[in-house]
Amino acid sequence: MNHDSISSTSARGTVRTLSQQEELPLLRDHLLRLDRTSRHDRFHGFIDDSFIRRYAERCANDGTVIIAYFEDGVVRGAAELHPPEQSPDAQPEIAFSVERSARRKGVGSTLFRKLIAEAHAKGYTGLRITTGAQNDAMRALATKFGAQLTFRHGESTGSIDLTEQRQSEPAPAIVPVTPVAAARALVDMNRAYWRMVMQMSGWGRAA
Ligand SMILES: CC(C)(COP(=O)(O)OP(=O)(O)OC[C@H]1O[C@@H](n2cnc3c(N)ncnc32)[C@H](O)[C@@H]1OP(=O)(O)O)[C@@H](O)C(=O)NCCC(=O)NCCS
């Protein structure tokens, strides 16, 4: 299994993709360790344990790719690449979470870079991210990787166009943090992620 240390940052852990079924508990426990504010930011207001358990289970069964940051065998950060089939316009949704103790050390950036490499490998041409309008950390992270976020009704949404990034040069697993300069942001106001979260919470269509 490929473990990449993130020596170019001040974090001391390693990054690798989780195996979907077997390592579900690692993702679930990481998400459950998020404090109340972080859960609110990550899940757009949904913060209860049962929701998070169901969410992690769904990720294990629907083809979501989870790239995890480990410290001492414990997942302290995760990037999620949700399959495009979940989205009405077939654009894969992405999401990030880093536990408070591991933040501001480049972990989110490393996970983002790995996720873009994974998306390229799958042949995806774009990614969508949705976050709260007040979420400065996620906005900074998304902007760094080429997303231009547009705000509406307390949320911000942006799409990252992967077709304009250099395809010939495989993204290294870990490199010093630089912006994805060629990534052009396409503003795409939609509420697909909200729909998924609403489904998870039992609202609207069945999850
Ligand atoms: C968003 C989050 C994943 C960022 O993780 P992180 O490991 O701290 O990110 P990094 O250390 O790689 O920082 C990425 C960039 O964002 C900036 N940043 C991080 N936190 C910030 C904050 N609170 N305010 C402003 N900028 C911030 C960093 O300075 C860095 O920019 P730089 O490299 O140009 O200096 C993390 O804060 C988190 O998990 N938040 C709770 C969950 C959440 O909100 N998820 C988003 C919903 S999808």
pLDDT score at 41: 95
Confidence of residue 195 (pLDDT cuts 50, 70, 90): low
Confidence of residue 197 (pLDDT cuts 50, 70, 90): low
Section 172-198 average pLDDT: 39
Section 184-207 average pLDDT: 44
Residue 64: partners with Cβ closer than 8 Å, 6 or more residues away: 20, 58, 80, 81, 82, 83
pLDDT digits (tens, 9 = 90+) for 115-173: 999 999 999 999 999 999 889 999 999 999 998 788 777 888 888 989 876 543 444 33
Judged by phi (left if over 0) then psi (alpha if -120 to 50, else beta), residue 45 lies in: left
- Give the distance (Å) from ligand 1 centre to CA of residue 137: 4
- Give the distance (Å) from ligand 1 centre to CA of residue 10: 14
pLDDT score at 165: 60
Our mutation pick for probing the ligand 1 site, out of 104, 110, 111, 139, counting the most ligand atoms within 8 A of Cβ, is 104
- Give the percent of the chain with pLDDT over 70: 74
- Kindly state the DSSP code that residue 127 receives in the 8-state scheme: E
pLDDT greater at residue 28 or residue 202 = 28
For residue 151, the cross-strand partners are 156
- Give the distance (Å) from ligand 1 centre to CA of residue 92: 21
Pocket of ligand 1 (CB under 6 A): 38, 41-42, 95-98, 103-109, 131, 135-138, 140-141, 144, 177
Section 58-70 average pLDDT: 95
pLDDT digits (tens, 9 = 90+) for 84-99: 987 777 889 999 999 9
pLDDT digits (tens, 9 = 90+) for 150-163: 877 788 888 898 98
- Average pLDDT, whole number, for the chain? 80
pLDDT score at 43: 94
Hey, what domains does the chain have and what are their CATH numbers?
4-200 (3.40.630.30)
pLDDT score at 128: 93
- Give the distance (Å) from ligand 1 centre to CA of residue 140: 6
- Give the distance (Å) from ligand 1 centre to CA of residue 107: 8
Query: How many of the other CB atoms lie within 10 Å of CB of 175?
Result: 11
For CA atoms 156, 97, 201, 83, give the dihedral sign.
positive
Is the model's pLDDT at 7 over the cut of 70? no
3-42: b (≥16 Cβ within 10 Å) or e: ebebeebebebbbbbbebeebbebbbebbebbeeebbebb
